[in-house]
């Protein structure tokens, strides 16, 4: 079945540590996205990529980094500069980055601080 796979489902970070969240899709979509979800809030865009080897900052990119070396993969690194990383992280993809294209979501990674 086609879809988006995020791993791990749960992740713990120590102070001063960088961690990387994996996102893989087999939908042959060009565009991929990373969102952060906090309790009682909607999703906020961290980074997005409309094509391989290109990505753009979203609304809350500080303390995060991404790469897009392959069409299928869009890993997110939460760096030690992100002072409040505890959240639910969702990866999504769409056929293109156009207005009318719905996004397909993975099942998320929950990041907590030890």
Partner 1 sequence: AQSVTQLDSHVSVSEGTPVLLRCNYSSSYSPSLFWYVQHPNKGLQLLLKYTSAATLVKGINGFEAEFKKSETSFHLTKPSAHMSDAAEYFCVVSEASGSARQLTFGSGTQLTVLP
Tokens of 69: 């070396």
Q: Check residue 22 for interaction with partner 1 (CB under 8 A).
A: no
Give the CA angle between residues 36, 15, 69 to the nearest 5°.
50
Q: How far is the CB of 31 from partner 1 (least distance, A)?
A: 6
Q: Check residue 8 for interaction with partner 1 (CB under 8 A).
A: no
Q: Check residue 74 for interaction with partner 1 (CB under 8 A).
A: no
Identify which of residues 13 and 110 has a Cβ nearer to partner 1 in the complex: 110
Binds partner 1 (CB under 8 A): choice among 40, 54, 84, 114: 40
Q: How far is the CB of 6 from partner 1 (least distance, A)?
A: 8
Instruction: State the residue for tokens 């409309």.
Output: 50
Measured distance CA(108)–CA(17) in Å, rounded: 20
For residue 24, list its beta bridge partners.
5, 73
Q: Is 111 exposed, middle or buried (0-12, 13-18, 19+ CB in 10 A)?
A: buried
| Piece of the chain touching partner 1 by CB under 8 A; list 11-19, 43-51, 61-69, 77-85 | 43-51
8 Å CB contact between 114 and 25? no
Binding site for partner 1 (CB under 8 A): 4, 6, 31, 33, 40-45, 48, 50, 56, 58-59, 88, 90, 92, 94, 97-100, 102-108, 110
């Amino acid at each position: 079945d086609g879809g988006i796979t995020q791993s791990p489902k749960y992740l713990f970070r120590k102070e001063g540590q960088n961690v990387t969240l994996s996102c893989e899709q087999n939908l042959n979509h060009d565009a991929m996205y990373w969102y952060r979800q906090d309790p009682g809030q909607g999703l906020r865009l961290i980074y997005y990529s409309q094509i391989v080897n290109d990505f753009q900052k979203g609304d809350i990119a500080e303390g995060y980094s991404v790469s897009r070396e392959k069409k299928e993969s869009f890993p997110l690194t939460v760096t030690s500069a992100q002072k409040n990383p505890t959240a639910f992280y969702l990866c999504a993809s769409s056929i293109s980055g156009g207005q009318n294209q719905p996004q397909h979501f993975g099942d998320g990674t929950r990041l907590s601080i030890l």
